[in-house]
Every structure is written in C-alpha cells, then in structure tokens.
Amino acid sequence: MKDAILFTFITLFFGGCLQEEAIDGSTILSESMAYHDPSNSWENTILQIHVQEPRMLNPHRYSIIKMDNTDNSFSLKRNRDDNISEHIIDQDGNSSVLWNGEITSDTALVNKYRLDPARNAGYREFYQIFYGLPMSLEDRILKINHASETTFNQQACYQLSIELKEPMFSKEWRLFLLKATKEIIGIEIVSRDKPDGGERLYFEKIIKINQILIPRIRHWHQLKDDTYSGTDIIIGEIND
C-alpha cells in the first residue's frame, strides 16, 4: 500500500513538472499579440493620444503623444508648470525641442525641464514599447527564459520571464497574460543589480485604437514592496 501511494505521489509530482515544462512561451506570446493586434497593424499604425500621467511629485502631468510607426517619427508635448514643452523626432530622424513653441538656449531651463534633444530617442523608445505591448516586444526580446502558470492581481494567468536585447529600465521582465484570452494584465521589471529597485505595473481596461487593443490604464508600483508611484491613463484619441 505504501509503495502504491509513493508511486502515485512521484507520478503526480513529475507529471506536474512535465506539464509546466510543456508550456510554450513563444506560442503564448504570439497568441497575446494576435489578441491585442488581430489585424497585425502595429508596425504601420499612427497613434495620437492624450494621456494623463499623475505622479506622486507631479499629480497634474498631461501629455500628448504622436507616434507614426511607418516612418518612426514622434512627438511628445507636455505641460511643464505653466509652460509647454515638445520633444520632436521627424521622419528623417532629426531631433528638436520646443519651449512654448520656440527653440530655447536657456541652459537653466534645459537642465531643469530636461529639454536636451538627445533625450528624445529615449522618450520615443519608452512610449513605443509601453503603448505597443505586447507587439512592441517582438523584435526586442532576446529570449524567453521561462513560462509558467500563476496568478497576478488575483487573476489566473501565464507568466513569461523574458530577457530583452537592450534594457528598458532593465533587461529582465516578467509578462502576465490572462489564461483565457492572453490579454496582458501586468508586467514586472526586475533589477537584479539593485535589490531595492524594479517596477510592477498593473493594467486595467482596454481602449481600441486603429483596431489595436491597448491597455487604457497602467498603475506603477515599486516591485520591492508594491508601493504606488503613479498612473498612466489614456484619455482618448486626438484627431488633427
């Protein structure tokens, strides 16, 4: 009898391990991309959105983001106290920054509000990645290290542990995709070099733009203790 119980335990244990190992992370990620971008149009989309981005030290931050993925041009317009800055990359890759509609050479303003045009590529990369999830990761993933079943924010999901070719805050990310639909519901950005670093993002609701399903709300928390640090909310599309 004991031998039979032991055999059953071993079978269940190793069977469970094999089942977990059989999860195909690449397939799950592809299914998530198909859910969010059923027409496979992310690479050719033009995104123009108004975003509210409250932070603990800046609760009244708003941005207007324009991205054209066909030519990689980009614009980020943001309120800075009573002023407006605009970071621009044109279709030829030229960067410029406007302060209230004009180029400024005031070093104090440039340093205080981070108006150096050299920062524009970083802004573009950030918004391309975070507003194109998960499609924006397709060419940025070096490898999927592990895929498993878990829960995130009390929802059953798949967890994909990925390594990026180039860091966005870090190379080590965890993606959380709903089991039922493969909708992306959160990410964790792991900072192995900084044990107290890292971010956890909770996604809420969906907005459809150009037939693409984009998480409308994302809450930023510190990974170490889940302390809240800010939110991004897509208010709506902008039509020129």
Does a structural domain hold residue 194? yes
Does a structural domain hold residue 6? no
Does a structural domain hold residue 4? no
How far lies 98's CA from each of 15, 37, 108, 210, 239, in Å?
Answer: 61, 33, 15, 29, 21
Does a structural domain hold residue 127? yes
Convert the pLDDT of each residue in 119-129 to its tens digit.
999 999 999 99
Residues spanned by the domain of 137: 24-237
> How confident is the model at residue 174, as a pLDDT?
98
Count of the separate structural domains present in the chain: 1
Does a structural domain hold residue 18? no
- Cα angle value 202/38/88 (rounded, 5°): 65
> How confident is the model at residue 171, as a pLDDT?
96
C-alpha to C-alpha distance for 207 and 236, rounded to whole angstroms: 8
Convert the pLDDT of each residue in 163-213 to its tens digit.
999 999 999 999 999 999 999 999 999 988 887 899 999 999 999 999 999
Specify the CATH number for the domain of residue 229.
Answer: 2.50.20
Convert the pLDDT of each residue in 122-164 to its tens digit.
999 999 999 999 999 999 999 999 999 999 999 999 999 999 9
- Cα angle value 91/216/52 (rounded, 5°): 75
Does a structural domain hold residue 9? no
